[in-house]
Amino acid sequence: MKAHEGIVELFENEGVDTVFSLASEEIIPILSEIQDNRGDGIRVVHCRHEQGAAAMADGYSRADDGIGVCIVGRGPAIAQTGTALQGANNYGSDVLYLVPETRLTATHDGKGFQQEAFLRSMAGEVESIRSPDVLLSALADVFRRIRAGDGPIAVQVPIDVLESDLSETSILEEYATPGTGRQDARTHPDETKLEEALDAYLDSDATKAPIIVAGRGAVRANAKAEIEQLAERMNAYLVTTLQANGYFSDHPYSLGFAGDLGTGLANEYLSETGFVLALGCSLNHHTVDKGHLLSEDANVVHVDTEPTNIGRYTDVDVGIVGDAKITAEAFREQLESFGIDRSGEFWTDRVRRRIEDSSPTTDRAFEDRPGTVDPRELIGALDDALPDDRLVYSDVGHFCGWVFDGLTIDPTDRLTWLVDFLALGQGLPVGIGAALAEDDRTCIVFCGDGGLMMSLPELDTAARHDVPMIVVVMNDDALGAEYHMGKTRGYSGSVGKIRAPDFEELAIDMGAEAHTVRSVDDVEAIEAELTAELNGPVVVDCRVNPEVRHRTMGEMSID
Ligand SMILES: Cc1ncc(C[n+]2csc(CCOP(=O)(O)OP(=O)(O)O)c2C)c(N)n1
Ligand SMILES: [Mg+2]
């Protein structure tokens, strides 16, 4: 058996059903084996740029329990993927990158560069398999490690090893134990750590309402009831991260989401509190707005199942490795056993009225621009017109503010904001990968005109592969973030003014369905098409008034 045949057989054994690629000389044998000799077991998605292939593999893994697989060429090909690799690394995605390496016998390689150092730096982990004898066993081991939660791993194989004959085909039976899945063992918090957390709580300023911040980990742990019971006893206010936005929306003391794009009340009370209990969230730069939202006097207890997440972005007083649901319950039981009950102290009518009266919207008036729609009205119309069962992937840019203020998104893993590396242009390819993994929900990508231009070639990929998805372009004919940041900092804003092309025409040329929207009526007119079964990508180019500035612009930095 040839090495490339063995690799494909191993992929099949491991349950791989999709690989994301852009053909290059050294990977022709593997791709041909998949496409020409193996029936329909594995689909090859042919991307237009290696960055797209890497980002799609990331999106695929985020939407599904499976491992995203990306196969691209060596040297310049893999070098094009840097931003996507770092994004997946920061998020800890389950991605395997298979990359050829210069021949072991080569004395010179025109495509040579410090590939291993690059992969180590961007992807995080690299395995270099330099003998055919261990090729399949080492590769099977990489699958196992990714499933065990090691995050993305890049595998390098020299071209001559890829061309070699494998002596032991039985190796597959010996090593491939596919489909073991990730362990779902719930993590119980350490008793001593719980006591430290109690001390931190009792030592904090008792005149201020404590805050519980819940993130995606709390949503995944299904911790809502336990957190609300704990909150009642502490009389804490409930805050979420952006990704868990809406988790406590039916609770009278839920303040919304905290962070640089956060709601006013969540940020106000978080920055004043003396005690924060963070459950299942990373406390990243967005959630605490680079630390501005935490007072120096606040005692912070951080609970997460991943030990490396604790204190990664924010210094904390007590770190507890634990499941959000189990830890919330254990903390409440501890309060109970000490007879600590603050019910009624902070859950007052005054605060409840403030919450009821608050609105996350920007209510200023801005100069009208004919032929464009106010993004605040647009997002309301899109919220009504887009399918309800939605999986939203958002690129970065000024436009995000409108999306997070106005779009209803179920917090159970249905919003992914691609800020892991704060990289523009990842929304579309990650969304394509997710749409290919997702069977039930409609994948909707929100991006700006700048982000779409950065990833535009992949619209062609989505059209060629009939990827069912909706791409909403919040098109302000500008790099709006730069335009507004420039203006609020006293510059003219001219550096952000870069005109956008006609996306409807471009998208149709590439084989997608497309519409241009300049008013709320235009959105209503296409509602039936947006909610019908999709047979490929639908692009909605929304011409938004570039002058309407989100309330957070000027205070926040997307860079
Ligand atoms: C790879 C990368 N390049 C540049 C930036 C800086 N940046 C952040 S948002 C933005 C503007 C995005 O423009 P657009 O997609 O049109 O969204 P808008 O801000 O106009 O809503 C830029 C240039 C970045 N974050 N990442
Ligand atoms: Mg723009």
Model confidence at 238, pLDDT cuts 50, 70, 90, reads: very high
Distance CA 192, CA 431 (A): 43
CB of 400 closer than 6 angstroms to any ligand 1 atom: no
CB of 450 closer than 6 angstroms to any ligand 1 atom: yes
At residue 446, the 3 state secondary structure works out as strand
Model confidence at 185, pLDDT cuts 50, 70, 90, reads: low
Q: Is the pLDDT reported for residue 169 higher than 60?
A: no
From atom 23 of ligand 1, which residue's Cα is the shortest distance away? 479
Distance CA 86, CA 141 (A): 22
Residue 263 Cα to ligand 1 middle (Å):
22
Q: Is the pLDDT reported for residue 536 higher than 50?
A: yes
Mean pLDDT throughout 122-150?
94
Q: What is the share, in percent, of the chain residues with pLDDT greater than 90?
A: 84
Model confidence at 276, pLDDT cuts 50, 70, 90, reads: very high
Q: Is the pLDDT reported for residue 548 higher than 90?
A: yes
Contact status, residue 412 vs residue 219, Cβ threshold 8 Å:
yes
Residue 134 Cα to ligand 1 middle (Å):
44
By mean pLDDT, which of 158-172, 352-366, 407-421 is the weakest? 158-172
Residue 424 Cα to ligand 1 middle (Å):
5
**Confidence (pLDDT) at 363:** 75
Return the closest-CA partner of residue 419 out of 242, 548, 219, 239.
242
Distance CA 473, CA 466 (A): 19
By mean pLDDT, which of 346-360, 412-426, 545-559 is the weakest? 545-559
**Confidence (pLDDT) at 174:** 45
Reported in sequence order, the residue ranges of 211-315 that DSSP labels E, i.e. its strands, are: 211-214, 237-240, 254-257, 275-279, 299-304
Model confidence at 176, pLDDT cuts 50, 70, 90, reads: very low
CB of 474 closer than 6 angstroms to any ligand 1 atom: yes
User: Which of the residue ranges 129-133, 304-308, 323-327, 354-358 has the most confident prediction, judged by mean pLDDT?
Assistant: 323-327
**Confidence (pLDDT) at 354:** 95
Contact status, residue 404 vs residue 246, Cβ threshold 8 Å:
no
**Confidence (pLDDT) at 513:** 98
Q: Is the pLDDT reported for residue 183 higher than 50?
A: no
Model confidence at 53, pLDDT cuts 50, 70, 90, reads: very high
CB of 176 closer than 6 angstroms to any ligand 1 atom: no
Which is the closest atom of ligand 1 to the Cα of 396? 9
Domain 375-553 in CATH 3.40.50.970: yes
Tokens of 132: 């055919």
**Confidence (pLDDT) at 99:** 98
CA atoms within 13 A on the CB side of 37: 13
Residue 399 Cα to ligand 1 middle (Å):
10
**Confidence (pLDDT) at 390:** 95
Distance CA 326, CA 322 (A): 7
Distance CA 46, CA 67 (A): 18
Classify domain 3-172 by CATH architecture: 3-Layer(aba) Sandwich (3.40)
Q: Which-ligand-closest: CA of 420?
A: 1
Distance CA 305, CA 510 (A): 44
Instruction: Name which residue leads in pLDDT, 23 or 310.
Output: 23
By mean pLDDT, which of 169-178, 262-271, 448-457 is the weakest? 169-178
Distance CA 129, CA 122 (A): 19
**Confidence (pLDDT) at 359:** 75
The sign of the CA dihedral 77, 101, 173, 176 is: negative
Question: Quick one: DSSP state of residue 190?
Answer: P
Q: What is the pLDDT of residues 454-499, one digit of tens each?
A: 999 999 999 999 999 999 999 999 999 999 999 999 999 999 999 9
Mean pLDDT throughout 35-43?
94
CB of 481 closer than 6 angstroms to any ligand 1 atom: yes
Distance CA 209, CA 276 (A): 10
By mean pLDDT, which of 199-208, 356-365, 422-431 is the weakest? 356-365
Q: Which-ligand-closest: CA of 426?
A: 1
Residue 494 Cα to ligand 2 middle (Å):
13
Model confidence at 113, pLDDT cuts 50, 70, 90, reads: very high
Which is the closest atom of ligand 1 to the Cα of 558? 8
Residue-wise over 393-418: b if at least 16 C-beta within 10 A, else e? bbbbbbbbbbbbbbbebbbebbbbbb
Mean pLDDT throughout 241-270?
92
Residue 475 Cα to ligand 2 middle (Å):
5
From atom 6 of ligand 1, which residue's Cα is the shortest distance away? 559
Distance CA 497, CA 486 (A): 11
**Confidence (pLDDT) at 250:** 92
Mean pLDDT of all residues in the chain? 93
Model confidence at 64, pLDDT cuts 50, 70, 90, reads: confident
Per-domain residue ranges of the chain: 3-172, 191-357, 375-553
Burial class of residue 108 in the structure, from the number of CB atoms within 10 Å of its CB (0-12 exposed, 13-18 middle, 19+ buried)? exposed
Tokens of 510: 């590439």
Superfamily of domain covering 191-357: TPP-binding domain (3.40.50.1220)
**Confidence (pLDDT) at 65:** 77
Mean pLDDT throughout 101-117?
96
Dihedrals phi, psi of 279, to nearest 5 degrees: -120, 115
CA 324 to chain centre: 20
Residue 89 Cα to ligand 2 middle (Å):
27
CB of 396 closer than 6 angstroms to any ligand 1 atom: yes
Indicate the length of the chain as a whole number. Answer: 559
Question: Look-up: residue for tokens 């887009």?
Answer: 386
pTM over 0.75: yes
Q: Which residues contact 376 (CB under 8 A, 6 or more apart)?
A: 361, 362, 402, 405, 406, 548
Q: Which residues contact 512 (CB under 8 A, 6 or more apart)?
A: 459, 462, 463, 471, 536, 537, 538, 539
